[in-house]
Amino acid sequence: MTHELRIAVATDPGLVREHNEDSVYVRQDLQAVADGMGGHEYGEVASALAVNVLADWRGDLGPAVAEIARRLDAETPQGAGTTLTAMRWEGLAFQLAHIGDSRAYVLREGELRQLSHDHTMVQALVDAGRMTPEEAANHPRRAYVLRALQSGNSHEPDLSWHQAKVEDRYLICSDGLTDYADLAEVHEILLSTEDGTDAAWQLVALANGNGGPDNITCVVIDVVRKKWWQR
């Protein structure tokens, strides 16, 4: 293998909430962010269950998400739920599993592009041409999720395959970042900050600088070429 992944994580409860309902899991072939729903008694449990399933999982993410849904039904109170955005790597290809309003982005050759599609009420209105993206970004119910993994009411995730390139930078984050930070500023931090850990914590600071009303989790993944002596 001529490349490797450099992975950095930052997570913070924000400035308002006492509990962090976000859960995160990373290893070389899998990175995931889950944002719990239903209040800290339920949300923390649901998001932790999701990443615990992934921690023991190898292979296709479709059955993994189905197993998370099954265990939510069996082990958590009605209403406990979580979003999930996960990347599973096979060489330079990766499978993306996504449900909810956490997000995945790629920074490639200076351009930042969203890979995931929000499962929210406002995104559905944007898709239908009834709202502009700018209106959606400031809508008071922008965090209202239509699809999630939830005890008694789970939905199917979006599953897709993508091809990475050396020098790509990927971001997986909870909506505690994207709902409270300008995307142009997110782009600038990812573009200008070489160290992934510094970039992740700068993104957390950006959201907290805007009031930090939600939990914030960021995973920055750099695809880098191995040096000849590392091969």
In CATH terms, the fold of domain 3-230 is: Phosphatase 2c; domain 1 (3.60.40)
- pLDDT at position 102: 97
For the chain, domain boundaries: 3-230
Checking if the pLDDT of 13 tops 60, the result is yes
Structure tokens at 90: 């096979």
Which whole number is the average pLDDT over 122-143?
A: 75
Q: What is the mean pLDDT of residues 9-27?
A: 96
Q: Which of 43-52, 104-113, 145-154, 163-172 has the lowest mean pLDDT?
A: 145-154
Q: How confident is the model at residue 209 (pLDDT cuts 50, 70, 90)?
A: very high
User: Residue 231 above 60 pLDDT?
Assistant: no
Q: Is residue 144 scored above 90 in pLDDT?
A: no
The average pLDDT across 19-36 equals: 97
- Say if residues 104 and 114 touch (Cβ distance below 8 Å): yes
Average of per-residue pLDDT across 178-197: 96
Average pLDDT estimate for 108-122: 93
Instruction: Give yes or no for a contact between 176 and 20, defined as CB atoms under 8 angstroms apart.
Output: no
101 to each of 141, 210, 229, how far by Cα in Å? Answer: 12, 19, 41
Least confident of 33-42, 131-140, 158-167: 131-140
Q: What is the pLDDT of residue 145?
A: 84
- C-alpha 84/C-alpha 23 separation (Å) is 9
Contacts of 155 (CB under 8 A, 6+ apart): 99, 119, 147, 148, 149
Of 86-95, 108-117, 143-152, the least confident:
143-152
Using the predicted structure, report yes or no on whether residue 86 has a pLDDT greater than 70.
Answer: yes
